[in-house]
Chains A and B, each alone.
Chain A
Amino acid sequence: MLSISKRYVFPVFNQNWQMFAPDPPKGDRNLYYRCRFGNNNYSPWINPGKSILKKHQANRFWNYGKLFNIYESIHRELKYLDSNIDYGIKKDRIKPDSIHAERSKRIIKTPQYKMAVKYFSAQAITSFKDRKIKSIEFMYVASTFPPIKNKAAEKEYQVIVFPTIDFEDSNN
């Protein structure tokens, strides 16, 4: 019975109604990218979700919310990816001096990273139409608000840098 319900009922009638439970997120989660151009100059760090969110805040009934959901799903997936990779690296007892290279190697193979490559490439092409883009760097930044009883305290930040997208390679 359990296996039948897992196969047929669970995917369609999933009742996982968490809705900010057991605890709501405790801070902002954002993605930033920057491009390296042909002359080796860098663009500023850009948060592609910021302008969509502003539009969504101004008009709750148009499709900006859906566009923001796409952005949100990417940073959520990247966060999961990072946690899974970290877990795998710890489990496989990778030597400390090869962790960075191993992490990059594993991340690049994942569908989440490929999804991010597609997303940031499209963003970069739209934002810098007339520039020759060599590579794109991107990162996940999460902040945690101070507790309600100590609001004056500083926010805490978590930054996860992902392997750089070699733009010419990823386009070929």
Chain B
Amino acid sequence: MKTAITKYVNRVETLFTDKVNQPFTILLFKKAVYLYIILNNMISLPIARQIWSSEANMIHYYPQDNLAIKLLNLLSRPEVNNYYWYFVIGQFICAALALFGYLKRLMGVLLYFISVNLYYNAGLMQNGGTNLLVITLFYMIFMNEAAGQQPNHRIRSFDITITNFAFFAAKMQVCLLYFVSAVYKLYGYHWMDGSALYYVLNIDEYSTNWIRKNIANADWLTIPVTYFTLAFQIVFPVTVWIKKLKPLTLWIGVAFHVLIIFMMGLTDFGLIMLIMYLLFANNVKSKMALNALKII
């Protein structure tokens, strides 16, 4: 028994410390995140004043009194708030440099710092997608797809280990998100009686006239889809790790999030979730995708 445990521990240890497990998947994922940040930054430019300036309709909560949190809320301070353009342009530059592979580690840290500041400064208008993005940006600081190329043995081992752990943590983050959401839903009345989607699709904000007329009141569709959504969120954290079920799980998820974007208009959240799915992509296919995009 003791030998079996030792063998298992050694196997896990090797799995995390031997080599970067999916370098091309990591690279593809990171580039997709950087590209998203660049595009999101660009569409925010015309309304930057409404979102981040001192004229913005925002309330800044400062419940924290520690240095780390203060630093991440720097932009929310009145004396710094007028310099919001430095943060907006800084985010664009850091994401662009990181996308093209310049000073990756430094850009990772700067991008996290700037993005969290922009996020907290406009905290009231953010959604789960942006929250997920900033958590992921933190994990990304530790992901180095080229860790295996470090000449120093000790630094290489350390870099490989934290890269693999950060990559694993980001994948677990997606599972955690579905799991927590599913558990909350199990406490709800309308998820259990199948009417959740009927309510959501009747709300102006998450619907369109066409959807309200043709889908929202079709019980034969909304009730099964409500239960299906709940079931998907419950099983995802398990089936995504089972080789045979993984492709089906991911494709259902892709369809689910594309519908969330177009039908419900939760574009930020939908796009970020689709990018998160890249974490589960095969290394070889990620390499092919990068070659096809010629941004490797």
Interface residues of A (CB under 8 A from B): 7-8, 11-30, 53, 56-57, 60-63, 65-70, 72-74, 76-77, 111-112, 115, 118-119, 145, 147-148, 151
Contacts and interface: CB of A to CB of B under 8 A. Distances in A.
28 contacts: A7-B64, A7-B66, A11-B63, A12-B68, A14-B131, A15-B177, A17-B177, A17-B184, A18-B181, A18-B184, A19-B181, A21-B184, A21-B188, A21-B191, A22-B187, A22-B189, A23-B199, A25-B199, A28-B204, A29-B205, A60-B261, A62-B43, A63-B47, A66-B44, A74-B57, A77-B59, A77-B124, A112-B59
Given A7-B66, A22-B187, A77-B124, A17 B199 contact: no
Given A65-B267, A69-B127, A145 B69 contact: no
A29 B127 CA distance: 17
A67 B4 CA distance: 58
Interface string B174-188: 001110110011111
A69 B125 contact: yes
A115 to B, nearest CB: 5
Given A12-B72, A17-B176, A145 B202 contact: yes
Given A14-B131, A70-B125, A115-B58, 17 more contacts: A7-B69, A8-B66, A12-B135, A17-B177, A18-B184, A21-B185, A22-B191, A23-B196, A24-B203, A25-B199, A53-B204, A66-B44, A118-B57, A147-B195, A148-B193, A148-B219, A151-B217
Range, interface on chain B: 35 or more
Contacts of A111: 59
A105 B68 CA distance: 37
Contacts of B232: none
A119 to B, nearest CB: 5
A24 B57 contact: no
B16 interface: no
A12 B116 contact: yes
Contact of A22 (B51, B63, B116, B184): B184
A63 B196 contact: no
Contacts of B59: 77, 111-112, 115
Most buried by A among B194, B208, B223: B208
Nearest to A73: B124
Most buried by A among B47, B177, B200, B205: B205
Most buried by B among A16, A60, A77, A111: A60
Most buried by A among B125, B188, B190: B125
B44 A63 contact: yes
Interface in B201-246: 202-205, 208, 217, 219, 222-223
B11 to A, nearest CB: 29
Contacts of A8: 66, 68-69
Interface string B244-268: 0000000000000000011001111
B34 interface: no
